[in-house]
Structure formats: structure tokens, C-alpha cells
Structure 1
Amino acid sequence: MKLPPEKVTFVYVVIVIAPIVAALLVWTRYVRGAIWLFFVSMLGSFVFGAYQHYILVSADHVEHLPNGSAAAQAAFISSAAGLTVLELASALYGGFCLSRLCRNR
């Protein structure tokens, strides 16, 4: 399924570019900003992915997939679940890093 332009922009900016920028910034004097950027981008990724795959009824919803092979559908469902878990774990890690940063201040 093709995403509309505003969602494509969100995916590129929040899900792809922001974590890379955060990873680069963590090695500079902008550690606080890097951790915030990582946390917000991973939280945004989690919310976007969970909404797209589990809440919004569309061709990307795991329960409303278009016709296709059972193997392809299983792969999509598995990858959606894996991404959701990874994004949530990343957001939680970002939150943990923020709490450590605030505590050490």
C-alpha cells in the first residue's frame, strides 16, 4: 500500500532521519538534545506503527490484509509485531536514558 505524501514525510523525518541524527549528536556536546530527539522519534515511530498496523482499518492493518499468500500475510504480521516491539523498546530505552540524564544533573 502506498502512503500519502504527509505520511511518507513523517516516516522519512521521524522514523528514518531523526534517530540517525540523534545517534550522531550523542557523540557531541548536544547529548541532552540527542537523547530527547531519540526518545521523541522512537515514541513517534511506535505510535505511528501501532496505529497504522493495529488501529486504523486499512490495507496495512494486520487483520485486514488484502488477499495474498498465507506466507506473505504471516511475514507481514510478524514484521509488524517485531517493529512494534522494537519501537516500544527503543522508546522505553530513550525514556530510561532521559531519566538517567535528569538524575545526574
Structure 2
Amino acid sequence: MNEEERKYILEGIVEVIKDMEARYPAIQLENGMLNLIYNRYKLAYKIIEEKKVEDKIIYINGGVRAYLDAYSDWDNPLLVKMGHVEDMYRKYIMSK
């Protein structure tokens, strides 16, 4: 993954994190499935930002499915963002 692609995925992850923070109260982001998804996105950002190769096993893949299993909110625009970021992150992991 080149520097431009890395920057693009970081921007996508930030967009998902900000959307989650705007959409849900902090207490909701600290508990349950939403907390797991939120923390994984934050960790994925840190891994890519710091270019950590050894931590590449932390996946955000499956976040869309986990969200739907927990909330059944099919019309939430956050899911489109999450799906796009998951695809980019999968490519990032495979390139390592």
C-alpha cells in the first residue's frame, strides 16, 4: 500500500469513528457490541498510522455484520462507510 492509499484508509476510518461519536452517546460507545466495533476501528487507525506490521492481526472485518446482528439498523448510512473501510483495510492487511 502506497502512502496515498494509506492516507485514504486513515481518512475513511476517521470518518467512521466521527460518525459513531456523533450518532451515539458516549455511554453507548463504552458498552456492548458498539464498544467492540468502535475500539477496533480506533485500533486499526493506530496500527495504520504508526505503520505497525506486527499488529496486523487486529481486524475490523466483520464490523458491519456485527453491527447488524446487534442493532438491525439496515438503513443506517454508517454501514456503507464501514463496509468501504473494511474493504480497504482488508487490502491493507493482505499487502503485509
Give the TM-score of the pair, scaled to structure 1.
0.44
- Higher normalized contact order (CA 8 Å, seq sep 6+, divided by chain length): 2
Look at both structures and tell me which one has the larger radius of gyration over its CA atoms: 1
Query: As a proportion of its length, which structure holds more helix?
Result: 1
Give the TM-score of the pair, scaled to structure 2.
0.47
